[in-house]
């Protein structure tokens, strides 16, 4: 097998007495959509934050395309092609949708110690932004301030921002969180298109979406990976049933 | 860039026109005092505009900005005292000293956020204040008299009131123009993005501190120019220009005029200092009137005077 795009080895992160990430190892192959599921408090966001560099692990290592990035700050990982969306929408709310995306494009277009020319008039950045916005269906909303967008649109904008950095690997932390049924369906459709272009690690509560999208699924419980495999393998796995699906009955959609 | 016709821009244009024509009025009416007053206002407006770059656009609440007024001033004063009277030497050194100070305290202060950032910038400015007080050779607490204004080899005579006023005004307008270009540039958008959401900016690949530090140094350097002008205006520099209340005055001017608006600090400086002048003619306890007035603007006028004008034009 070729080198995986993302390799996580023996990752451990403790908060006081709690081990939020307990010796996690996983591989994500180039081109696959790898979902990470687990009950609330399983340590999914903690894991994602260590992949993006917002949180340092106590031990273990993270490799991106054969390169050790364990101790690299977030902005440098991003330069290597790692982009993320946040579980709780995190945008520049007083900027327009186009500005949000154009800044992401700018971040990957050399340094920004340019003090004079009007950045909002740079065609290259604006075109890239417009393309990413159109990609997620926000082409018509480019000039709306991010704060004025609906929640569903903000989730889509998060995705456009991540796409504008031309990532090799997209880490999506619950992109469906708080979306209604129609918005969720739109997001699933969008992800189905995107997965053809980019490797995705998807953390999601929405089981229907996960089983529809994922090539492989890793199940996280109390910080440990208890199973990893194709959707049908996971569905048949006894330990998963016991630890995850069994206790809470079959979780099809999470409560709203 | 297209300039929109609205109340804010109209008021800004009026203020600039007023400032340009002021020496004419002063000459015709024989009121010399008003020119002296406005020279000071223009210089402090420059300082407030530089503070607005980090505070309004950058979201960095520096409570030590007056330090650069002192550093710029002392650079001129000390060089004059030591016999180096050329402005071509004094001004670049004033700017360089301010930039260096901003670089050092910025590198340290930007490790902190929020209230800690406010406190640490305040602490550094107070340190500068006490260092200046201890400069026995240069007057210590009593300050340093500058017997000869910066000499620009006949190019411009700083001893001439009108010429000096126009120099200050040109510097102010130059600084405002520079800030306008900066905030719309790639660099400016990054700095404003960091104010809005630092975590997001890092996640899309911007090293936050580097950009904030450069912004901090630019603001400090520009304020150092204000310091060099101020020392020439008063023919004197003392530790008092660096005292924390002076930093507070600058913050008030920015907030009163409107944080993050280009001309806000200029208008804030004019209103604040003219009010101070008028009220202190009426009563010794002018601060008793000024205080509630400022509270009113802060509580009800979101975005300061510029914010209120903005709402006015939207009806």
Q: What is the CATH number of the domain that holds A12?
A: 3.40.50.300
Q: Both A181 and A67 in a single domain?
A: yes
| Nearest-CA distance B38 → chain A (Å) | 30
- CB atoms under 10 Å from CB of B134, counted, come to 11
Residue of B nearest to A80 (CA): B205
**Helix/strand/coil for B217:** helix
Predicted confidence band of residue B226 (pLDDT cuts 50, 70, 90): very high
A54 to B203: CB separation less than 8 angstroms, yes or no:
yes
Going by their DSSP bridges, the two strands A199-203 and A169-173 should be labelled as parallel
Residue pLDDT, tens place only, B248-300:
999 999 999 999 999 999 999 999 999 999 999 998 888 888 889 888 888 88
Whether residue A86 lies inside any domain: the answer is no
Shared domain for A179 and A74, answered yes or no, is yes
Say what the pLDDT of residue B239 is: 97
- Same domain? For A69 and A142 the reply is no
Give residue A220's domain range: 1-81+169-186+198-256
- Judged against a pLDDT cut of 80, whether residue A254 lies above it is answered with no
Looking at the structure, tell me whether residues A174 and A76 fall in a common domain: yes
pLDDT tens digit sequence for B4-22: 778 899 999 999 999 999 9
Segment among A169-183, B32-46, B159-173 with least mean pLDDT: A169-183
Give the ipTM of the model, two decimals please: 0.88
Mean pLDDT of A219-239: 90
pLDDT band with cut points at 50, 70 and 90 for residue A42:
confident
Say yes or no: A161 and A179 in one domain: no
Q: Are A175 and A106 in contact (CB under 8 A)?
A: no
Whether residue A39 lies inside any domain: the answer is yes
Does one domain contain both A173 and A255?
yes
pLDDT in tens, B119-135: 999 999 999 999 999 99
pLDDT tens-digit map of B55-79: 999 999 999 999 999 999 999 999 9
Reported confidence tier of residue A239, pLDDT bands at 50, 70, 90: confident
A193 within a domain of the structure (yes/no): no
Indicate yes or no: CB of A75 within 8 angstroms of CB of B1: no
Give the pLDDT confidence score for residue A250 in this predicted structure: 46
Task: Pick A95's closest partner by Cβ from B1, B196, B204.
Answer: B196
Alpha helices in chain B (DSSP H): 7-29, 32-52, 66-81, 87-109, 114-133, 161-184, 186-196, 198-203, 208-234, 244-257, 264-282, 287-300, 304-314
Q: Quick check: is A192 in a domain?
A: no
pLDDT single digits (tens) A143-161 = 999 999 999 999 999 999 9
Q: Are residues A205 and A232 in the same domain?
A: yes
What's the mean pLDDT in A198-223? 91
Size of interface A-B (CB pairs under 8 A): 97
- Mutation for testing the B interface, residue in A92, A122, A147 having most B CBs under 10 Å: A92
Please tell me the distance from the alpha carbon of residue B239 to that of residue B215, in angstroms, as a whole number: 26
Q: Give the percent of chain A with pLDDT over 90.
A: 62
**Does the pLDDT at position B1 exceed 70?**
no
Q: Tally the domains of chain A.
A: 2
Average the pLDDT over B79-107 and give the result.
97
Q: Convert the pLDDT of each residue in A123-133 to its tens digit.
A: 999 999 999 99
Compute the average pLDDT of residues A59-66.
93
The mean pLDDT of chain A is 89
Whether residues A98 and A157 fall in one domain: yes
Same domain, A154 and A256: no
Q: What is the mean pLDDT of residues A202-219?
A: 90
Question: Would you say A58 and A231 are in contact if contact means Cβ atoms under 8 Å apart?
Answer: no
- Asked if A126 and A13 sit in the same domain, the reply is no
Model confidence band, residue A13 (pLDDT cutoffs 50, 70, 90):
very high
Mean pLDDT (chain B, rounded): 94
pLDDT band at A89 (very low <50, low <70, confident <90, very high): confident
Q: Is A45 an interface residue toward B (CB < 8 Å)?
A: no
Among B182, B186, B187, the residue to mutate for chain A (most A Cβ within 10 A)? B186
Residue A38 resides in a domain: yes
Torsion of CA A157, A158, A163, A169, to 10 degrees: -160
Concatenating the DSSP letter of every residue in B25-46 gives HHHHHT-HHHHHHHHHHHHHHH
Residue that wins the pLDDT comparison between A86 and B144? B144
Residue A137, number of CB atoms within 10 A of its CB: 16
Closest partner CB to B202 (pick from A74, A91, A113): A74
- Out of B187, B202, B214, closest to residue A75 by CB: B202
User: Per the CB < 8 Å rule, is B207 touching A73?
Assistant: yes
Q: Which of B185, B200, B206 sits opposite A119 (nearest CB)?
A: B185
Residue A128 lies in a domain: yes
| Residue-level pLDDT at B137 | 93
Same structural domain, A68 and A99: no
Give pLDDT, residue A2.
Answer: 63
Residue A57 lies in a domain: yes
- Give B190's contacts in chain A (Cβ within 8 Å): 103, 106, 112
**Predicted local distance difference test score (pLDDT) of residue A249:** 47
User: Is residue A234 assigned to a domain?
Assistant: yes
Query: How far A91 CA lies from chain B's nearest CA (Å)?
Result: 6
Instruction: Indicate if A155 and A178 belong to the same structural domain.
Output: no
């Amino acid at each position: 097998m070729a080198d995986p795009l993302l390799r996580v080895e023996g990752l451990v992160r403790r908060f006081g007495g709690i081990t939020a990430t307990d010796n996690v190892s996983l591989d994500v192959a180039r081109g696959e959509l790898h979902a990470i599921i687990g009950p609330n408090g399983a340590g999914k966001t903690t894991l994602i934050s260590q992949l993006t560099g917002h949180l340092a692990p106590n031990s273990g290592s993270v490799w991106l395309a054969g390169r050790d990035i364990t101790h690299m700050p977030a902005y440098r990982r991003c330069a290597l092609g790692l982009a993320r969306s946040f579980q709780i929408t995190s945008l520049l709310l007083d900027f327009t949708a186009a500005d949000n995306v154009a800044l992401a494009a700018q971040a990957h277009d050399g340094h920004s110690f340019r003090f004079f020319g009007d950045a909002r008039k740079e065609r290259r950045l604006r075109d890239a932004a417009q393309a990413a916005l159109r990609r997620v269906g926000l082409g018509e909303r480019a000039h709306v301030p991010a704060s004025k967008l609906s929640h569903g649109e903000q989730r889509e904008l998060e995705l456009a921002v991540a796409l504008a950095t031309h990532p090799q690997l997209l880490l999506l932390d619950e992109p469906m969180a708080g979306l209604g049924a129609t918005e969720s369906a739109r997001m699933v459709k969008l992800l189905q298109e995107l997965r053809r272009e980019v490797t995705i690690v998807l953390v999601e509560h929405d089981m229907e979406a996960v089983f529809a999208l994922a090539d492989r699924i890793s199940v996280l419980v109390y910080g440990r990976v208890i199973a990893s495999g194709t959707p049908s393998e996971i569905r048949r796995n006894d330990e998963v049933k016991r630890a995850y699906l069994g206790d809470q009955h079959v979780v099809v959609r999470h409560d709203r | 860039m297209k300039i929109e016709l609205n109340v804010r821009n109209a008021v800004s244009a009026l203020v600039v026109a007023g400032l340009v024509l002021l020496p004419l009025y002063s000459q015709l009416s024989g009121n010399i005092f008003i020119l002296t007053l406005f020279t000071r206002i223009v210089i402090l407006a420059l300082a407030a505009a530089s503070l607005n770059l980090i505070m309004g656009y950058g979201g960095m609440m520096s409570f030590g900005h007056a330090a650069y007024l002192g550093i710029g001033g002392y650079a001129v004063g000390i060089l004059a005292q030591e016999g180096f009277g050329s402005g071509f030497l004094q001004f670049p050194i004033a700017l360089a000293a301010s930039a260096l100070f901003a670089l050092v305290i910025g590198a340290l202060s930007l490790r902190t956020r929020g209230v800690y950032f406010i406190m640490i910038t305040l602490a550094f400015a107070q340190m500068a204040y006490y260092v200046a007080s201890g400069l026995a050779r240069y007057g210590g607490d009593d300050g340093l008299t500058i017997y000869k204004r910066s000499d620009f080899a006949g190019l411009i005579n700083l001893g001439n009131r009108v010429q000096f006023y126009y120099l200050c005004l040109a510097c102010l307008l130059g600084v405002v123009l520079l800030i306008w270009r900066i905030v719309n540039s790639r660099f400016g958008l990054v700095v404003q993005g960091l104010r809005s959401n630092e975590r997001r900016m890092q996640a899309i690949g911007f090293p936050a501190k580097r950009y904030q530090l450069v912004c901090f140094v630019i603001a400090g350097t520009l304020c150092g120019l204000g310091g060099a002008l101020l020392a020439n205006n008063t023919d004197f520099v003392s530790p008092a220009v660096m005292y924390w209340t002076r930093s507070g005055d600058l913050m008030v001017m920015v907030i009163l005029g409107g944080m993050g608006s280009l001309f806000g600090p200029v208008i804030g400086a004019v209103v604040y200092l003219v009010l101070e002048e008028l009220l202190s003619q009426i009563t010794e306890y002018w601060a008793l009137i000024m205080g509630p007035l400022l509270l009113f603007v802060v509580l009800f006028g979101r975005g300061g005077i510029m914010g209120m004008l903005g709402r006015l034009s939207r009806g």
